[in-house]
Structure 1
Amino acid sequence: MVRSCSIGVLDSGLGGVSVLKSLVKLMPNEDIIYVGDTKNIPYGGRTKEEIRKFALRIVEFLILNKCKMIVVACNTASIAALDYLKGHCNIPIVGIIDAGVEIVLDGGYKEVSVLCTPFTAKSGDHKRKINNKNKKIKVNVIGCELLCPMIEKGWETIENRDDILDEYMSHVSKTSEALLLACTHYPFIKEEIRKKFSGEIIVPSDECVREVYRTLRENSLLNENKKKGNVEFYVTGDVNSFKDKAEKFLKQKNLEVYKVNLTDIKK
């Protein structure tokens, strides 16, 4: 593997673009290949076996495209498939769960709430990992079935979005000092969430990307090229829908977005 190869980023859809934004900011000279599995979103209501199957197809695609490392920029996929993917991958691969956990542990909080998908909530991973290192931190976890698909569809187009968000936020403990956004889609509506929560809002993207940087450095894989890197986007569903939302979030135009059929991937 050579330094000039791309970093691969996978997500169930649009959410990982929030991680990509941090990645481009910290390492602007790196080439990136992003894959959003928009055909099979949301992962939050899927089984572990389904998520592993979908994620492995993306990993195979990224490896075929000569990626030097992979970022699982999806909390649900990180929980369901990260260790499984590592067993099928001969390049470095990192997830996003530990980034959020580390921020909570370093924050000196007595109580935090976690906003996430139903799959992530059911897994109990955030609570378990936080309390394994600090049993004194109270962790409240709220599974939000509708937020991810609403954001993917287009948050502004959902007439009752405020009522639905209010319902989920009503389960956030009033004594929580911080709210961890444990789904990479949620930063897209961070300002809406901020209106309903007075404490600190934790977005783990930057910490995840710092881990990517450390991993590349330790493996002597940092790109030494000084010119601006190229980002290519691949989706399994509608190209235009993804392109419009990604361009709006990144405040960029003319993103390269292509459709890919991952069932055609040959090892």
Structure 2
Amino acid sequence: MVKSCSIGVLDSGLGGVSVLKSLIKLMPNEDIIYVGDTKNIPYGGRTKEEIRKLALRIVEFLILNKCKMIVVACNTASIAALDYLQENCNIPIVGIIDAGVEIVLEGGYKEVSILCTPFTAKSGDHKKKIHKKDKKIKVNVVGCELLCPMIEKGWETIKNRDDILDEYMSHVSKDSEALLLACTHYPFIKDEIGKKFSGEIIVPSDECVREVYRTLRENNLLNEKKKKGTVEFYVTGEVDSFKEKAEKFLKQKNINVYKIDL
């Protein structure tokens, strides 16, 4: 693998664009290939075996397109498939779970809440990893079945979105000093969530990208070119809606999005 190869980013759909945004900011000279599995979203209600198969297909596509490392920019896929992917692929692959955990551990909090998909909530991974290093931190996990597909469909188009968000936020402990957004879709509605939570809101994207940088540096794979890198977008489902939302979040126009069958 050579330094000029691309970084691959995979997600169940639109959510990983929040990680991509941080990636572009920290490493603007890197070329990136983004794949959103919009045909099979949401991952949060699927089995571990299903998620592994879906993620492996994307990873194989990214490797065929000469990616030097891959970011699993999806909490659900990171829990279900990261170890499996790392064992079956010969390039560096990082997930996003540890990034969120590290921010919580470094924050000095006594109590935190976590918003995530049902799969992530059921796994208990965040709580286990936090308590492995600090059992004193109280962790409250809230699984949100509807938020990811609502954001993917178009948050502003959902008439009862505020009521649904209120219901999930009602399960967030009032004593929580911080709220970890443990689904990469949730930063798209960070402002709305912030209106319903008085503490700190944790978005782990930047910390995840710092791990990507460290991994590339340790493997001598940082791109040394001076010019701005390129970003290619691929989706397995509908193109136009993804393009519109990605452009809005990235504050860019005329991004190229291609449909692929995996």
Is the pair's TM-score, using the shorter chain for normalization, greater than 0.5? yes
CA drift at 1:137: 0.1
SS of structure 2 residue aligned to 1:255: coil
Q: Name the aligned partner's letter for residue 236 of structure 2.
A: T
Query: Which residue does the alignment assign to 2:158?
Result: 158
5+ residue gaps, structure 2 = none
1:170 counterpart = 2:174: no
* Sequence identity (%): 90
Query: Which residue does the alignment assign to 2:227?
Result: 227
Query: Which residue does the alignment assign to 1:44?
Result: 44
SS of structure 2 residue aligned to 1:45: coil
Instruction: Give the alignment's TM-score, normalised by structure 1.
Output: 0.98
Per-residue deviation, residues 115-160 of structure 1 (Å, max 9, x unmatched) = 0000000000000000010000000000000000000000000000
Query: Which residue does the alignment assign to 1:215?
Result: 215
Query: Which residue does the alignment assign to 1:90?
Result: 90
Query: Which residue does the alignment assign to 1:265?
Result: none
Q: Name the aligned partner's letter for residue 239 of structure 2.
A: V
Per-residue deviation, residues 28-52 of structure 1 (Å, max 9, x unmatched) = 0000000000000000000000000
Query: Which residue does the alignment assign to 1:116?
Result: 116
SS of structure 2 residue aligned to 1:71: strand
CA drift at 1:87: 1.3
Pairing 1:17-28 to 2, within 5 Å after superposition: 17-28=17-28
CA drift at 1:54: 0.3
Per-residue deviation, residues 60-105 of structure 1 (Å, max 9, x unmatched) = 0000000000000000000000000011110000000000000000
Query: Which residue does the alignment assign to 2:180?
Result: 180
Provide the rounded CA distance (Å) in 2 between the counterparts of 1:172 and 1:25. 31
Query: Which residue does the alignment assign to 2:29?
Result: 29
Provide the rounded CA distance (Å) in 2 between the counterparts of 1:107 and 1:232. 35
Provide the rounded CA distance (Å) in 1 between the counterparts of 2:6 and 2:219. 14
CA drift at 1:173: 0.1
Query: Which residue does the alignment assign to 1:56?
Result: 56
SS of structure 1 residue aligned to 2:44: helix
SS of structure 1 residue aligned to 2:175: coil
Q: Which 4+ runs in 1 deviate beyond 3 A?
A: none
Provide the rounded CA distance (Å) in 1 between the counterparts of 2:255 and 2:90. 30
CA drift at 1:261: 0.3
Provide the rounded CA distance (Å) in 2 between the counterparts of 1:89 and 1:230. 24
Query: Which residue does the alignment assign to 1:148?
Result: 148
SS of structure 2 residue aligned to 1:43: coil
5+ residue gaps, structure 1 = 263-267
Q: Name the aligned partner's letter for residue 167 of structure 1.
A: E
Provide the rounded CA distance (Å) in 1 between the counterparts of 2:176 and 2:91. 39
